[in-house]
Each structure stands twice: as C-alpha cells, then as structure tokens.
A and B are shown apart, each in its own frame.
Chain A
C-alpha cells in the first residue's frame, strides 16, 4: 500500500516538443477546477526539440508556492527523463512510463508500464498522447472525471466536434487506466479539495506581470527577444488589439530603450523587457532617462550569467547590474515581485514611480518566477488605477524648471502652447546645453533630491512569522518568497522568522528596525550575496550568514529546511 496525502509532487519528464507543456497546462487547469491547490514550475534546456526537460506540479492541501526536490509521481515520456531526474527519484517514487522507454533505467523504485502512445495510436493519432497522460494522472488521483470531460469539451471546442470527441475518448482511456493502476498497485492519494479554489484565477508569473503592465495603462513596448524576458513581449502582442498597445520589435536592445524613452517623451507609457545580457546593452539608455528626466520602465527576467550563461535557467545575480547600471548619478527604483499578486502590483507601482518622479524603474524577475503557475482569488489583484503625470504646457514652459521638490512638471510635444525640449547634455531650465558649474550643481541636486520622496513611498517588506520576537531573521527577495514561507512553516520555530522584500531599492527607512539587533541571514540565488551586501550598505547592519544557490535551479524546500535547522 502506498499512501500519499496532503502534499504530492508530480513530475513530467520528457524531451522538448513532446508535449509536456500541454500536459501541464491541461492538468493544472482541470485540478484547479476540481478545487485542488496546485503550483507548477519547470526547468528546460535551451533547445527547440530533444534534450530533457521537466515540469513539477505540486498538489497540496494548503496553498504553497515552491519547488520540492522529492518526486512522488514521475511521468517519464522518454528515455532521457529517468537519468535526467535520477538524483530526485527515491524509493517511494512511483514511476510511470512506456515499458520500452523506462525498462531497467531505475533500480530505486517501481516502474509502472503505461502505454501512452499505444492508446493514442488506437485513436488514430499520437497527438492524443498528452490527453491520455492527463487522464492517467487524474485517474490515479481519483479526480472527478466529469470536470475533466467538461474541461476538454471547452478547451477543444474551437477545433471542432471530432477533436473534442477524440480527446474525451483519450482522456477516458487514460483515466480508466490510471484508476486501474492505482487499484492494482495499492496507490492511494488523499488531497483535500476546496470549493473556493474552483473560482480562483490560475496563471503563471509572466501573465501576472503582463496583467499588471496592462493595469498600469502601458500602451507601448519596444523590445528585442531574449529569454526569459520575451514572454512579456509576447503577452502584450497577444493583447495589443483590445488594449491598443504599440508593439515594436527593435533591431537591438540599444534601440529598444532609446525608442521607449522617446515614446515616453511624446506622452506614451512604455516598457522594455529583456534579460541581463540585453540589459547590458541598454545601460546608456538608463543613464539617458536619468539625465533627461524622462521615465522608463524596464523588466529584466534574470537567468544565470555571465555572458550567455544558462539561457533557460534561473538566478538572481543581476541586482548589482541594475543597481549600478548607467554612468553618472541619478535616482532609480527596483521592484522584485515574490508572488503573482506582487507582480501585478509592482508593475503598476513601477509605472507610477517612473512617471511621477521621471526616473528609470526596474522590475527584476527570473525564469523560475515567470514560468511558475499558481491559483489565487481574483480580488487579490489590486488595481491602482493609473494616473498620467503629464502637464499641458503654457507658452513660457520650461522643461527643467527648478522646483522645491525637484519635480519639473513634464509636458509633451503638441499638448499646449509650450515647447518641450530634453537634452542629454547638462542643461539649463529650458533644456539647453550649459557648462555653467552653478547650473550643473543646481540640476544635479534637483535630480538626486528626488530619492528622498521615492524612499518615502517604498514598499515595506512582508513579515513572515513574528519578526519582532524572533532572534534570527531570514531575508529573501524576489522569487524566493514561497520557498522561505514554506521552509519556515516546516521548521516551525518561533525564534526564526522571515522578511521578504518586493522592493529592494530604495529601501524603506522603516524596515531597518526589523533587522537591528537580530541575526540576519540572507537567502538568494546568486554566489556573491548581492542583496546581503546592499542591506549592509543601506542599513549598516551585519549579516550573520548567507544562504546561496547558483546552479541554475531555484531553491528546493528541503535544502532550505536543512539550512534553517542548522541555524537553530
């Protein structure tokens, strides 16, 4: 008898182009509609076909948002999947695959022969393999077959009755087989369902960010493709009609950022999306935005570097890059969402801060975050309602008027009687080139002076557990919120709490006291402890320990638990 309860991890392993993504998409949708909490994340190779990729779907009683090393069920769709995931296969892992492809590959655990391809071929086309696989998984879980059928009906409706009918048949075959296997092998799965989950929305980090960008009133994107930043460009392109968004595929990243700053100058609301390597090329534009006080929002989906690095994997090593990008001194802000809801929120805040303070603002995500799928209540998406901070100009308008708060009202060409000039040279109030030392100092102070107000508006970090009474505080930023929350809960020790930042620059003054007189441990996906160093610099605190990982994978819950226990 094999009994699984509360928390199972189901992994799909196979080559690129084999349909793992289709299985994932179908499975998480159906499970969510049945009221299961799901969280899925993936790792894949930088190639179009072949190789060995995997997706992990966690189905849990309580909501969770992290990656576990353990595999309970492994669907191996090809020969490579088993050796690829060997380290994560345990004695309790149930391995399902076609006999010819899985035979003798793992001695650690039981392999159940599932003739996916044969079933699909019986229906006349190997294309049905994915639906068969989904059926098998749902059969093992003893999920409600009617919900599955209804979903297939809706999902394939556009493709005509025959396709619907064949998929339903494929699903049924798989489902019956899964149920049969579970019975024969004595596999029992009990996971609680929750009615409220059925009504939730289900999406990946990329779409959560994209919806936030739409909520910010964005109407312009100029970008050059680079994983994992491309997803946002694709998302906006998909919705360009309904939202009236200009999509410009730039010739290079230098063009993308200069183009987007030009769009803001003319009154549009623009974003650029890229990854670290593309952002390297954009840094001159960041500096330009700082000097001409024209807003820009940049999304950087991080992946491991240096150089081309590991194009499809994950890391958090571009914080320093973004913090210091661009020559000269000027204010900036950096947002790092840790949940889908936060991605939706920070995208809007990024536009708000960029627009209000006329500065470059960054959103740093990573491959792991962008690709992970979760469900949550729609009401948790907070809509801030965008406000356009532009002004109608009068004939005597001065673009860089020296004001008490350092913000010179921003006019746009063609709106009002005034003329709007911007200049990358040091300039006077009218935006003309100047070499006056006094004017230089006045303008530089004006620009830099804005940082105080930006800091006042900074998001406070999220406290996980009782930070005030804990002696050790584990700090995380960006995509590590989920893993820290879960590991802290497993450890369950009142002396350790967590603090998660979704804005890392400028840091809010008020959060400093949460970290003083504490043992501070910083968890991040890089080798240099970049955020730990920033905390030292900004708050003047000591960092007791770093928990770092930089092999291209996100943290597993298990390894974080081990590290936390070792601190006690």
Chain B
C-alpha cells in the first residue's frame, strides 16, 4: 500500500469548491482507492473536462490532462492505448460527461478501453451557476427554465448498459467506505467502468440534497447477480429507489487497447524503422 499522503497537494493549495460540496469526499476517496491499490502517482493519469468536478486532478498529485469541456474521454482512451501500463481515470461532471461529451460517452463504452470513468453527478451545471444538466429531474426550477425542466431525464446507467458497458455502478459521495470499494473495483475491472457518483451541489441544487439521496438510495445486497443484465436494467430504470453498488459487470470482453494495437510497450519508446520505409517506397517502382 502506498502512503495516501503521497497524493496530497501542498497545504496552501486553493481549492475552488464550496464548503460542504460533495466533491471533497470523492477527492479523498480517489486518493484512498489509489493508495490501497498501490498505484504510484507517476503511473496514474486523470483526464477531465471543464466544470467544478473536472477540477479534481488539480487537487491530488498524479499526472493529469485537464482538457476541454466534454472531452475527458477521447484523450483518456488515447493515453491508455499509447501506454497501457498507466492507470487511466476520466473524471468529470454530469454535464461534461453526458451533455457536451455525450457522443464520446456512447462510443467510449462501445470501445471498452480499460479506463475508469468517475462521474460527479450533482444533477446540475455547477460551475456555470445552476442551469439544468442532462440528469436534472423534470420540473427542477433553474435560471433558464424558471417553471422547471421540461425534458426527460438522462439515464446514464441504462444507456451504458444498453451500449454494452462491462462495468456499471452507482455510488454516493456521502458514503466514504462503500464508494471507495466501488471505485477500487472499477479500477481493477479490465475494461470501461462507469461509476456515477451522486454528489450533492449545496449551492445550486436544493432539490437533490444529501438528505434526498439518503432517503432514495439503497445498496444492492450481496446476492445481487452482477452478470444478470436484465436485472441490471430493472435496477437502472427504477428512479423511485436508487440502487447503489456494482449493478452490472461482465469480465473477459477484450479491451480496446488490446484490439487496436499489439503489445503494451509505451509508444513513446518506438523508433523509426527506416528499412521498412525504404521497402515500401520500393514497391512503387
């Protein structure tokens, strides 16, 4: 086990989250999970987009690619393919992952790269001050729809399942130990792992609070059959009670990086093969 302190940023680091924000426990959980799984900071890359959640990689000591809004996944795949030895995590908000990055979300699942996708789901656009996100509940009042959201809610778990995701989980940032175990399992899973973490936004979402979630959430019991996809769909579609834990897992599906390239040697080590080029040029005679 790696000392968790190794992931800590200097004390004076100015964290741009509000007091009581559900992002703090997630940050702590990720550090705990990495330390328990023995992932050295220099072997971990966190990719993120833009938003409050997407600032996470600035608050722990690992490699990171803090790219553009909605675009955490494309570079995450590329990094895993370029160097399969790295532990790659894509971590962003619900708006970033399911809205702006929706197309990448769909097609990353289809590729099944061995990366962990942690979505801080506060059911709102936090950074831009409280507009509706794809996971906002119908009827939620917000500055752009003062009478409430008029479109249906996006269901990330059901979408992921339908696209063949090999690991689908829901977690709650209020439950440190359970969420840490889920994230550890997600990191260990060989393939794309979605962990939708409910993360209350204490400033802009007064509807989906810690209290609200404690009332709705429950953990699937140990007898839950993770390989039962129809059962997983049932759980995903139930929005009255929110199932927590690993809802679905399928092992053995080839990962993208093993299908798209040979071996796991980092591509930065590759040298130019002049003889092969000369041979190819010769075929044009």
Contact = CB atoms under 8 A, between A and B. Distances in A.
A453 to B, nearest CB: 24
A262 interface: yes
Interface stretch (A45-53, A126-134, A198-206): A198-206
Given A255-B74, A421-B57, A413 B63 contact: yes
A48 B215 CA distance: 59
Interface string B57-76: 11001111111100100111
Interface stretch (B169-177, B204-212, B265-273): B265-273
A176 interface: no
A421 B64 contact: yes
Classify the interface of chain A: helix, strand, loop or mixed: mixed
A424 B82 CA distance: 21
A419 B42 contact: yes
A433 interface: yes
Contacts of A412: 83, 266, 268
Interface stretch (B99-107, B141-149, B188-196): B99-107
B168 interface: no
Given A217-B270, A239-B280, A414-B266, A246 B67 contact: no
Nearest to B265: A244
B78 interface: yes
A536 B281 CA distance: 40
B273 A414 contact: no
B103 A422 contact: no
Contacts of B253: none
B260 A262 contact: no
A432 interface: yes
B67 A267 contact: no
A425 B57 CA distance: 13
Nearest to A418: B42
Nearest to A200: B285
A261 B75 contact: yes
A96 to B, nearest CB: 29
Given A217-B270, A424-B66, A211 B280 contact: yes
B6 to A, nearest CB: 11
A260 interface: yes
Nearest to A427: B66
A266 B262 contact: no
A172 B282 CA distance: 29
Interface in A384-403: 385-386, 388, 390
A288 interface: yes
Interface residues of A, number: 66
Contacts of A262: 47, 65, 67, 74-79, 82
B74 A266 contact: no
A263 B262 CA distance: 16
B43 to A, nearest CB: 6
Contacts of B261: 244, 246
Given A203-B284, A220-B78, A288 B68 contact: yes
B230 interface: no
A6 to B, nearest CB: 26
Contacts of A431: 64, 66
B83 A255 contact: no
A87 to B, nearest CB: 34
A207 B76 CA distance: 31
Contacts, number: 191
From B106, B280, B282, residue with most partner A Cβ within 10 Å: B280
A258 B67 contact: yes
Interface string A253-271: 0111011111101111110
A203 B284 CA distance: 7
B41 interface: yes
B279 to A, nearest CB: 8
Interface in B18-59: 41-43, 45, 47, 50, 55, 57-58
Interface string B98-122: 0000011011000000000000000
Contact of A246 (B16, B64, B267, B274): B267
A417 to B, nearest CB: 6
B281 A263 contact: no
A296 to B, nearest CB: 11
A334 interface: no
Nearest to B260: A246
B270 A244 contact: yes
Contacts of A242: 273, 276, 279-280
A212 to B, nearest CB: 10
A415 B58 contact: no
A270 B79 CA distance: 12
B81 interface: yes
Contacts of A252: 103
B124 interface: no
A202 B281 CA distance: 10
A248 interface: yes
B85 interface: yes
A247 interface: yes
A252 B62 CA distance: 29
A506 B213 CA distance: 57
A420 interface: yes
B265 to A, nearest CB: 9
B157 interface: no
Nearest to A199: B285
Contacts of A329: none
B277 A214 contact: yes
A284 B75 CA distance: 14
Q: Which 9 A-B pairs have the closest CB atoms?
A: A262-B75, A267-B268, A262-B78, A266-B82, A251-B107, A413-B63, A259-B74, A201-B284, A258-B74
Given A215-B277, A433-B66, 12 more contacts: A202-B284, A217-B270, A248-B78, A248-B260, A259-B74, A263-B82, A265-B75, A266-B45, A383-B274, A421-B64, A424-B68, A431-B64
20 contacts: A199-B285, A201-B284, A207-B284, A219-B267, A220-B267, A244-B261, A247-B260, A248-B81, A248-B260, A251-B107, A252-B103, A254-B71, A259-B75, A262-B79, A263-B81, A267-B83, A414-B83, A414-B266, A420-B63, A424-B68
Interface of A: 199-203, 207, 211, 214-215, 217, 219-220, 222, 239, 242-244, 246-248, 250-252, 254-256, 258-263, 265-270, 284-285, 288, 292, 378, 381, 383, 385-386, 388, 390, 412-425, 431-433
